[in-house]
């Protein structure tokens, strides 16, 4: 926790401390939303009143090796990326692509109807549609006059 002791600047400008706090918050969180995640696979999540859509980048991964499970409000994505098989007498000059097992568990903003979940993949992008159960959707209540 950062503590600010009132200095002379507070008396000169009443909002100086608040501006300094805002600057530190902007520095801490301002660019974070655009930094790539170190977790694999990278995902995007969209939410609406009807459900959630999750997309994951899984290029080069066989769909048979991907396992999707939904339990209450948690989606789990597991799989394995196999290494490129090269000739045995070849050594790597640079190797940045990771391989091996991966797992991501994503807490969803509400429970989903697991019977109606749909998943598809195209061009290395896995799209998972997770509908919200009708009983869990917000509904408008009509007010009757007395």
Provide mean pLDDT across the span 1-21. 62
Cβ count near 126 (within 10 Å): 22
Residue range 45-67, pLDDT digits in tens: 999 888 899 999 999 888 999 99
92 versus 77: the higher-pLDDT residue is: 77
pLDDT band at 33 (very low <50, low <70, confident <90, very high): very low
Please check the confidence at residue 9 and state whether its pLDDT lies above 70.
Answer: no
Q: Which of 11-20, 30-39, 61-70, 73-82 is least confident? A: 30-39
Cα gap 111→72, rounded to integer Å: 5
List the CATH code of the domain at 38-84+97-136.
Answer: 2.60.40.790
**Contact in structure between 110 and 130 (CB atoms under 8 Å):** no
Residue range 93-125, pLDDT digits in tens: 777 777 889 999 999 988 888 899 999 999 999
What is the average pLDDT value for the chain, to the nearest integer? Answer: 81
**What are the strands of the beta sheet with 74-81, ordered from one edge?**
67-71, 74-81, 100-107
Residue 30: predicted pLDDT: 64
């Amino acid at each position: 926790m950062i503590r600010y002791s009132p200095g002379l600047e507070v008396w000169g400008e009443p909002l100086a401390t608040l501006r300094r706090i805002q600057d530190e918050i902007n520095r801490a969180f301002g660019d974070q939303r655009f930094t790539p995640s170190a977790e694999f696979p990278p995902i995007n999540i969209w939410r609406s009143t009807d459900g959630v859509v999750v997309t994951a980048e899984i290029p080069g991964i066989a769909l048979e090796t991907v396992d999707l499970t939904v339990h209450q409000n948690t989606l789990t994505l597991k799989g394995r990326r196999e290494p490129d098989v090269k000739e045995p007498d070849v050594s790597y000059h640079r190797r940045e692509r990771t391989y091996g097992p991966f797992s991501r568990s994503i807490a969803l903003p509400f429970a989903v109807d697991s019977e109606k979940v749909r998943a598809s993949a195209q061009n290395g992008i896995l799209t998972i549609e997770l509908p919200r159960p009708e009983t869990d959707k917000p509904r408008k209540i009509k007010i009757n006059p007395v």
